[in-house]
Amino acid sequence: MSGVADSGPSTTPRETAGSCSRRKAHIGSIYDAVRAGDVKQLSDLVERGASVNEMDVLHKFTPLHWAAHYGSLECLHWLLWHGADTTLGTVRGWTAAHIAAIRGRDACMQALIINGANLVAQDDRGCTPVHLAATHGHSFTLQIMLRSGVDPSVADKREWRPVHYAAFHGRLGCLQLLVKWGCGIEDVDYNGNLPVHLAAMEGHLHCFKFLLRMSNGAQALKAFNDNGENVLDLAQRFLKQNILQYIQGAEYEGSNSDDQENLAFPGHVAAFKGDLEMLKKLIGDGVINFNERDNNGSTLMHKAAGQGHIECLQWLINVGADSNITNKAGERPSDVAKSSSL
């Protein structure tokens, strides 16, 4: 999904005084004043007859849209105090809240919410600001909206919920936040895709692993969409080697472990079993990190140390694994090795 960032000149949230002064010299419209963050010029232009709800010709943005786009918080406050309409949309149906979500303008979003902005307003694709914040990876902006009480599981026209967008675009922080707020990772879209299917087809390994960890991993690997495809089929069709390699490791773990809930950690089973070749393959292919922790905070070294697999331990140390990491019990790998030898 293309963002608003392409619709205007690029800028950074904090600009130098020099750049601001140069912009002020060229202010000729209410939009220029907002882009420059110049409240005085904005006020002067409105006093001379400019409308706070006037849409520009090119983008169909109101001054409020531009304030949200550029993060011009003072201008946004001024516009809201002087009657700017938060319900007006662009040609794509974006309100100022949609723009703030796309751009990750946290303070602007907070101000819009306080002033009654509609967070369930849908654009031409049925997306709310919550969908768009998840799409663009703005977890703090997303959290501000969730705290206001907005529904985190609202669906768009394709039955995509925010959790689907986060998985599809690889936005792990947003995905974790949405799950924390109760979003269902078992919800399917109009093609029967779970979020884990979307993460697989786009090759977003961290999201894929998280979704396996938060669900029944074995069932998630086997689940089919309406086209009869599971995550393996999708990873193969879209040539996502990292997902394919991870699934291979997960299947290995599933065949070697009684604990199906830990399918998200194939490397830990390899270390526990002392299978150095599998460990080398998983790390060499970039499927796992040598300091990766499981749900108990244990690393590969903890697992190998607990079983006395010296060869695995030596190899992990040689590739840079940290032997000082502690698990949730406060134990380092050396502590686990000592306790297991008692």
* 57 and 145 belong to one structural domain: no
pTM (2 d.p.): 0.72
pLDDT of residue 13: 41
Domain boundary among the residues 243, 262, 281 is at 262
Q: Within a domain: residue 302?
A: yes
Structural domain containing residue 90: 1-118
* 187 and 274 belong to one structural domain: no
Per-residue pLDDT tens listing for the chain (342 residues): 444 434 343 344 433 344 344 344 456 899 999 999 999 999 999 999 999 999 998 889 999 999 999 999 999 999 999 999 999 999 999 999 999 999 999 999 999 999 999 999 999 999 999 999 999 999 999 999 999 999 999 999 999 999 999 999 999 999 999 999 999 999 999 999 999 999 999 999 989 999 998 987 778 999 999 999 999 999 999 999 999 988 887 765 555 444 444 566 788 888 988 999 989 988 887 778 888 888 788 999 999 999 999 999 999 999 999 999 999 889 999 998 877 665
pLDDT of residue 188: 97
Q: Within a domain: residue 127?
A: no
3-state secondary structure the chain: CCCHHHHCCCCCCCCCHHHHHHHHCCCCCHHHHHHHCCHHHHHHHHHCCCCCCCCCCCCCCCHHHHHHHHCCHHHHHHHHHCCCCCCCCCCCCCCHHHHHHHHCCHHHHHHHHHCCCCCCCCCCCCCCHHHHHHHHCCHHHHHHHHHCCCCCCCCCCCCCCHHHHHHHCCCHHHHHHHHHCCCCCCCCCCCCCCHHHHHHHHCCHHHHHHHHHHCCHHHHHHCCCCCCCCHHHHHHHCCCHHHHHHHHHHHHHHHHCCCHHHCCCHHHHHHHHCCHHHHHHHHHCCCCCCCCCCCCCCCHHHHHHHCCCHHHHHHHHHCCCCCCCCCCCCCCHHHHHHHHHC
